[in-house]
Structure 1
Amino acid sequence: MDIRSLAIHGGANGDPYTGAVTVPIYQTSTYAQKSIGQHKGFEYSRTGNPTREVLEKLIAELEEGYRGFAFGSGMAAISSVLMLLKSGDHILVSDDVYGGTFRVIDKVFKNFDLEYDFINTSDIAKVRDSIKDNTKMIYIETPTNPLMKLTSIHAIAEIAKEKGILTVVDNTFATPYLQRPITQGADIVLHSATKYLGGHSDLVAGLVVVNNEELGNRMHFIQNAVGAILGPFDSWLLIKGIRTLPIRMDRHCENAEQIVSWLSKQSWVKKIYYPGYNDSQDVLSSQMSKAGGMISFEVDSEATVEKVLSNLKVITLAESLGGIESLISVPAKMTHASIPEEIREKIGITNRLIRLSVGIEYVEDIIKDLDISLK
């Protein structure tokens, strides 16, 4: 089934008990048992819930993986994946990574003796040279947040498999509609489902998909043991969001391409970060169907940043991304403020960098908001 149909019909078609077309919200904590251990597949909603199960099956099908898991946030999903590691293990992480990911590794997991290096994972030779005897995971974002760098998932997975290392891909920006990392060789794919998958800025959630039974059993143990699960109502909302993912992503991408073209003609825009725009066109064409709806661009001064932000009528100044509405932010002062300034400056996350999550509004209205010449 094509992914445009699978997004609508995957997971489950309605409710087998009542015939309801929409999956119900099973707002319950526990389930009656006929006798000890005899039940209808559910015992306690931390371990499993019918609404959450439909969502987990849906994301596994969309990502072409073995098993899916739904968590209370993207960071809960990331943290649970990192719990696959043990004290003394080493992880390689994309240097241009979401600030929350940097923070949880650098401020939390290092307290449990997890070793880590943040490197440019787009440089395959650098990745190979950075692997240590105790390296157990390579964690990549592609496209990265916020500089939109692309990493060849296939190339990373090949290196990792040679060494018995897990490949983990944060697929939040691309979504399974544009990119399916497991088909490229990744072991685990994860999402901040708060973003494009939910799509309406009305929930916080995280999703994980694994590629085999052994990883599935380990992730389920962690999910159940830690309990960072997604509740049934948010699971239901997320299913509804995913049902419209393909049509939304088509508009996000279409609008973004037009905005990139317009930005490229503005004298105050000094650099544009958009997948495949400056380089890595070969990586883009090999693993993504389109470049997505996220754009970052560096302007000529911090005064210009303020001028852009003060001109907004359609675009909203806010953290997060991937909603139907356009959202704008300054990563160095917002989403990536937890990364030390010297590291931000070194990799290019300056105070002059603006990140735009392109919504599905009429594109000319978005461009008018960005056009400082209209002030």
Structure 2
Amino acid sequence: MPGSTGEVQAFDARASDADLADLRARLAAARLPEAETVRRPAPDPRRWDQGVPLADLVAVVEHWRTGYDWRSFEERLRRIGQFRTTVDGLGIHFLHRRSARADATPLILTHGWPGSVREFTDLVEELADPPDAGAPAFHVVAPSLPGFGHSDRPATTGWGTERIAAAWVELMGRLGYATFLAHGGDWGGNITTVLAGRFPEHVLGIHTTFADAPPGLSTDGLSDVERRWVAETRAFYDGPRGAYAKQQAARPQTIGYALVDSPVGLLAWILDKFAEWSDTEDSPFERIGVDAVLDDVTLYWLTRTGASAARIYAESHASMDPGLRVDVPAAITMYPRDIEKIPRPWAQERYRRIVRWREPDAGGHFPSLEVPEHFVQDLRDGLAAVLAAR
């Protein structure tokens, strides 16, 4: 790690050759179960009814072992600019790219689970220095959540979304950004909501693909589409598809042993979510490159954060303060194949100044990876609307 600059240190993440050799050896020695009992010819989404099909997993494992290049992802992180600093006693890793534009606005991007900063690595340069001089530019900060990637793994309880949001305010202030915009999806959307609700003096406005409505709202007056959204979201969390969240909320340590000890177990656990939550008809690789998924999974593997990342569910699952309100301008986008879609009338009960609402034709839970060109334009347009509203 290069030298320190004040309280912020430049950081160079480089895995050892021994760790990469160990990963390949574990992949070569993997013990796999028999094939699923719902085998169907591809393409067919029902192939995934029991989880990741054996043939699909074997193909990805073989590519991971023999064809995937982790060093190229490390170089991409290096080009963006990586740093670490200690906030509230915990080491936080983050990407930081300052724009060359004098009119750029600070922007913090927060990822979720099973994502990482990989969700944003292909977008940072375009957001910071867009080719179009008329497009808004941003000083981009993308931190790794506590327990994720190269951020420290908390050794005690208490690192829930409220504490993370407060840490982000401290982080941005340390970088010289007293006020800033914020974006997030999944847990990042939750944290972005808390940021805006708790720290409106620092947050200029937000863009999010996640909108958490207060509990107990009626479906009276909703459109047929909005009623379907409500039914689908409730079915997801109340049924077997939401079991992953209950497992990680109730017993993160138990699932953590498999996620930290077995690269194939980690891959299957994460790949299952990329498949089910993406806007595809069969495989997630219809929209997301296999190397993009492996960048994400390998980051979890090399940093041994399968268990610590799962603990965010134990800390904060279903814990949003029902009384929290967001009064700063908000731009919200509901992608059609996301796992949680909230009707606008419900969202307006929490987000009091929705200045832009969009429902695209394509995209799921990972829009920055699934539909990157649309995502970047939507993010720009949403943040421009937020700034104009101020």
State the TM-score, normalizing by the size of structure 2.
0.27
Write 1 or 2 for the structure with the bigger share of helix. Answer: 2
